[in-house]
Structures are given as C-alpha cells and as structure tokens.
Amino acid sequence: MRKVFLFMMVSLDGFFEGPNHELDWHNVDAEFNEFAISQLNDIGTLLFGRVTYQIMASYWPTSAGIKDDPIVAGKMNSMAKIVFSKTLEKTEWNNTRLVKKGAPEEILKLKQQPGKDIAIFGSSDLAVTLIPHGLIDENRIMVNPVVLGSGKPLFKGINGKLSLKLLKTKTFKSGNVLLYYQADKNEEGNNRPR
C-alpha cells in the first residue's frame, strides 16, 4: 500500500502561515533545495486543497518558477496532481485532476494502487479532513527558527488528542529542523484523534 505523507513548514510557535497568509519567513536555501529534490524523487502523486493548489499553480509553471528552480519546477509540473475543492471549476496546471467530493474515499483508492508515495504539500485543511479517517501515514514537519506571534496553526480543526511517534530528525545548517512523525496506530489501525 502506498504511503501518504504531509510535508509542512511551520514557525517555532506552530503556525504554517502568517496572519495575512505570509510565507516569506520560509527558510529556504541550497541545502533545502537538495532535500526538496530528493523528496520529490520519491513521490508519485501530489495532493492539494484549493488554496495551496492555486498558489503552486500560479508559480511553478511560470517562466519565473522555471528560471528560479528548473529542477523542482520540472518535477512539480510533470508530476500527477490532484486538487480537492468544492468550489474550483477547472484546473489548468499540467497533469492535474479535480476531485469535488469524497476526498477520503479517493485517497483510500490511491493508497491501494501501486506506485511511489503520495504527498500533501501545505493544504492544512485537507490534512485536517483526512486525519480523522486515518489516511495520513507520516507527518514531515519542518520547523523554521522564527516566531511569528500569530497566524494559522498547523492542525487547526483537530478536536482531540492525536498521538504521534518520532521516527527521525534532520537538522539543516539554516537552523531548520525536520521532524518525521508516524501516526500512532490505535487498535483499528487508524491514527484518529481521541
């Protein structure tokens, strides 16, 4: 069965975006880019909610995105992508499929197909929708050495305790720390909030 993982950058105080959706605090350098390319090599499908999809689709296919980071842009533009949205009418980014309803059912089908890992980049609302169904196998949380003071918390909307098991860590020269957490499976095999 394919693994689904969430990759998210957060501030030290647990926000994934600033109060006005700012992401300019993301600590990205050459070492991060090497990591990003390596991570993309292990992914077969990307999952997005509408907001993250629109941000990514407005950058990676553009000449600026391709010029700034041609390797990552090439991988992002060619990879299979699914956007989950009730309001989006169409997708224009290459290799993207729109799913209007039934995200948990769709992801369960994807997990059962052969192939590389499935990744959720950003899209915290999508992640919060999937967590109660036990569909996220691993959380890769990159903590940036910055305190924002306010913003949107990573797991906003999770009601109840969600136990995770630390698998490994990776420290970057920039001060970023990547934490790999596996869902702590309950007796039914799901990582549902309790």
Give the CATH number of the domain where residue 125 resides: 3.40.430.10
The boundaries of the domain holding residue 70 are: 19-172
Percentage helix, strand, coil for the chain under 3-state DSSP, each rounded to 5: 30, 30, 45
Token couple for 162? 């969600």
Query: Tell me, what's the pLDDT at 188?
Result: 40
pLDDT digit string (tens) for 96-129? 999 999 999 999 999 999 999 999 998 999 999 9
Query: Would you say residue 88 lies in a domain?
Result: yes
Structurally, how many domains does the chain consist of? Answer: 1
Query: Tell me, what's the pLDDT at 161?
Result: 87
What pLDDT band is residue 191 in, cutting at 50, 70 and 90?
Answer: low
Token couple for 123? 């899209």
CB 8 within 8 A of CB 140: yes
Query: Tell me, what's the pLDDT at 190?
Result: 46
pLDDT digit string (tens) for 23-45? 999 999 999 999 999 999 999 99
Query: Would you say residue 188 lies in a domain?
Result: no
pTM: 0.91
